[in-house]
Every structure is written in C-alpha cells, then in structure tokens.
Structure 1
Amino acid sequence: MNKYKETYGVDISKDVFDVYGSLSGHHQFNNDESGFKKFFKGLPENSLVAMEATGYYHYRLAQFLYKNAVAVSVINPLSIKRFIQMKLAKVKTDKSDAKAICEYAQNNAVPLYNALTEVQS
C-alpha cells in the first residue's frame, strides 16, 4: 500500500524528537540543527517522514527535511488523536505516539508538505 521504502513517525517536543521507523524502530534526537542532521544522515532514500503539526517545533524539522529533498507529511493532530483512540491504546508516551504516527502514515494517504519559501517564512 505504501510506496516508500521506509516510513517514519515523528513525535516532536521542545528539546527532543522521537522517531519510529517502520523497519528501524525507535530513536531519539535533539531538537536542533545537529539532531536534524544526525536523523537525516540515517534516512534511506525514498523514505517518508510524517509528523503532527505542532507549531514552531514541527516547522523547523519539516523545513530542514523538505530542503534536503525528503518526502515530508505534516498531519493534523486531531487525526492522530482519533487514530490512537480508535486503536484503544492505553499507553501515551512520546515513543508510542511516534509509532502511532508511523502507522497512521502507512495506512492512510497523507498529504505531502509544501515548504514555505524563505520570504514567506
């Protein structure tokens, strides 16, 4: 169903972002330029990175990945919340949220992110 080699779900917060890869499992990175680069370095070609819209926190990572030609999808948080509720998940951690975002992106047609230009941002 999914045309990507690997799908990643990202749960992002102020200091770190948790990543769950459909093949590679869970990893955590600093939410800064060095963390973005470390994450990008480990991405295989033809990957999809999906994340919730979280304002400023998701924006920097989405822009970085988009500028480096990675397929990015920014998803409405309510969609993810309802998906997690539908699965009757009782555990709510950053790791479990990243996994749920990954599963959501694998099972649904998610829109690709169109980054703002430097002038717009």
Structure 2
Amino acid sequence: MIVKYSLGLDVSSKDIKACLATIDNEQRVKVKSSKTITNTQKGMHELLAWIEKWYSDLEIPLSVCMEATGVYHENCAYFLYDKGFNVSIVLPNKAKKYLQAIGIKSKNDSIDAKGLAQMGAEQKLEVWEPMGMFYYELRVLTRQHQSLKESLTAEQSRLHAANAASRQINFEIKQIKSHINFLEKQVEKLEAEIKRLIHSDETLKKNLRR
C-alpha cells in the first residue's frame, strides 16, 4: 500500500528534471514517472499538469524535495508553495551525504531528481517556509554588498601591484583607479540603501539602538 508520494526536482538555470516516486508500507520506493521541463513560468505550469496527471490520490501525502542551487530553484519553490505543496529545500552537503549513505554514485557528486525523490520518500524533511519580502530584499542587498567589497579589495590589490611594478603602465593605473572610484560609490549607495531598509523595520531599528 502506498503511504507517500515524493517529487524530486533537480533544478538548473535552464531546466528542471522531475521524478515522481512512491513509498509503500514496506519502505519500498518505486518511480512512477520522470519529466524534464524548462525553468520558466510556462515550464512550471507544465510541471503542475504533469503532477496532477500522476498524483491522483490526494488523500496520500505528497512531498517535494529539491536541492538549493543558488537562486535557480527559488521560482519553482515559490510556485509550488503557492499551489499548496509541501516543499523541502535541502543543502547540497546534506543531499550529498544522503546519496553516499544509500550507495548512489554520481560523477559530479550531485544528487539527481531520482535521488531527491527517494530522499523525500524515505526521510521526514523540514518543510520550507519562504521568507518575507523584507528579509529577502535584505539578503539580496547584503550579498551584493559582500560581492562589491570583494571586488573593491581585488582592485586595490591590483593597483598596489601596478604601482610596485618595475615598469608602470599609466593607462592601466588610471583605469584601475577609475574602477576603484566606481566601486566605492556603488558600495556607498548600497550601504545607504541597506541602512534605509533596516530603519524601515521597527524591530531591527530598536535592536540597533541597544
């Protein structure tokens, strides 16, 4: 007797590989169907139609398991969440350890849709809850800030090396200085926006005053 459906999704920037599996009361996992769709809104509607075709017994729970892949998995996760599905997003290292534990070998150590479907079927994974828009925006801006600071540090190191070279190229030094100036202005604008965003939230604003 089937006790659970599990949908494994292997998400990349271009497409989503899906695998729908079941697990019975004797813990036997069986693949019902597989499909590849584009990672677009049109593709996600195709995914939904495919799920509805193969998942007909709505009294049996269905879990969705996908691996965190930068930002590429987010649109699909939000889409399925909005449709009422229980979505679990696992970290790559957790998925990799599970893959190794069940003896599945992969050329690039990544877990595919079938492995994710089996993982979702056999384990009770934490259900993902999307963060609110405020914290999502704050996360994006702080990541951008970190990236700009790293670029700025790299350019400052380049300038130091260019000035220390036995033969200095004035045009190169001028270009690096110009880029540093640009990055510094971008960092300044970004820090102002992060500060504005934080001060728009009363809870964070109070915490900063402590």
Please report the TM-score for the alignment, with normalisation by the length of structure 2.
Answer: 0.51
More relative contact order, 1 or 2 (CA 8 Å, 6+ apart): 1
1:84 maps onto 2:83 in alignment? no
Give 2:43's match in structure 1, choosing from 35, 47, 51.
Answer: 35
> Which structure shows the bigger proportion of residues in strand conformation?
1
What do the CA deviations read for 1:5-61 (whole angstroms, capped 9, x no partner)? x21101111100101110522110100101111111222344221101112111111
> Which structure shows the bigger proportion of residues in helix conformation?
2
Say how many residue pairs are matched.
117
SS at match of 1:51: strand
CA shift in 2, pair 1:42/1:118, >3 Å? farther
Corresponding residue for residue 11 of structure 1: 10
Where has structure 1 moved over 4 Å in runs of 4 or more?
none
Matches within 5 A, 1:37-52: 37-43=45-51, 44=55, 45=58, 46-52=61-67
Unaligned runs of 5+ in 1: none
Q: Identity of counterpart residues, as a percentage?
A: 23
Please report the TM-score for the alignment, with normalisation by the length of structure 1.
Answer: 0.84
Give the RMSD, CA atoms, in angstroms: 2.1
Unaligned runs of 5+ in 2: 22-30, 137-210
- Amino acid of the structure 2 residue aligned with 1:100: G
Q: Which has the larger radius of gyration?
A: 2
What do the CA deviations read for 1:52-102 (whole angstroms, capped 9, x no partner)? 111211111101111111111111211110111123323448xx7111111
Return the alpha-carbon distance in structure 2 between the equivalents of residues 47 and 92 of structure 1.
29
